[in-house]
Amino acid sequence: LRRRYGLWFRLRRLIIWLLGVYVAIPFLVKLCPAIQAKLVFLNFVRVPYFIDLKRPQDQGLNHTCNYYLQPEEDVTIGVWHTVPAALGKNARGKDQLWFEDALGSSHPVILYLHGNAGTRGGDHRVELYKVLSSLGYHVVTFDYRGWGDSIGSPSERGMTYDALHVFDWIKARSGDNPVYIWGHSLGTGVATNLVRRLCERETPPDALILESPFTNIREEARSHPFSIYRYFPGFDWFFLDPITTSGIKFANDENVKYISCSLLILHAEDDPVVPFHLGKKLYNIAATSRSFRDYKVQFVPFHTDLGYRHKYIYRSPELPRILREFLGVSEHEHHH
- Which whole number is the average pLDDT over 140-156? 95
Residues paired with residue 110 on neighbouring β-strands, in sequence order: 139, 180
Say whether pLDDT at 335 is over 50: no
Pairwise CA distance, residues 207 & 263, whole Å: 6
User: What is the residue type of 175?
Assistant: G
pLDDT digits (tens, 9 = 90+) for 7-30: 888 889 999 998 888 777 777 777
pTM of the model: 0.90
**What integer pLDDT is reported at residue 185 of this predicted model?**
97
Residue ranges covered by each domain of the chain: 45-234+245-327
Active-site entry in 133, 174, 185, 246: 185
Active-site entry in 246, 253, 271, 289: 271
**What integer pLDDT is reported at residue 6 of this predicted model?**
80
Pairwise CA distance, residues 112 & 210, whole Å: 10
pLDDT digits (tens, 9 = 90+) for 227-283: 667 777 787 877 778 777 778 899 999 999 999 999 999 999 999 999 999 999 999
Say whether pLDDT at 329 is over 60: no
Q: How far is CA 59 from CA 62, 66, 80, 127, 332, in A?
A: 8, 12, 12, 9, 29
DSSP state of 84: P
Say whether pLDDT at 330 is over 60: no
Q: Determine contact, residues 265/292, Cβ cutoff 8 Å.
A: no
- Which whole number is the average pLDDT over 62-83? 96
**How many Cα atoms are found within 13 Å in the side-chain-facing hemisphere of 7?**
4
Say whether pLDDT at 223 is over 70: yes
Average pLDDT along the chain: 90
Strand pairing category for 64-72 and 75-82? antiparallel
As its CATH architecture, domain 45-234+245-327 has 3-Layer(aba) Sandwich (3.40)
User: What is the residue type of 2?
Assistant: R
**What integer pLDDT is reported at residue 216 of this predicted model?**
94
**What integer pLDDT is reported at residue 225 of this predicted model?**
61
Pairwise CA distance, residues 244 & 37, whole Å: 9
**What integer pLDDT is reported at residue 10 of this predicted model?**
86
User: What is the residue type of 135?
Assistant: L
**What integer pLDDT is reported at residue 331 of this predicted model?**
36
First to last CA, the chain: 82
Residue 271: active-site member: yes
Active-site entry in 63, 114, 165, 310: 310
Q: Is 213 left (phi over 0), alpha (psi -120 to 50) or beta?
A: beta
pLDDT digits (tens, 9 = 90+) for 282-324: 999 999 999 998 899 999 999 999 999 999 999 999 999 999 9
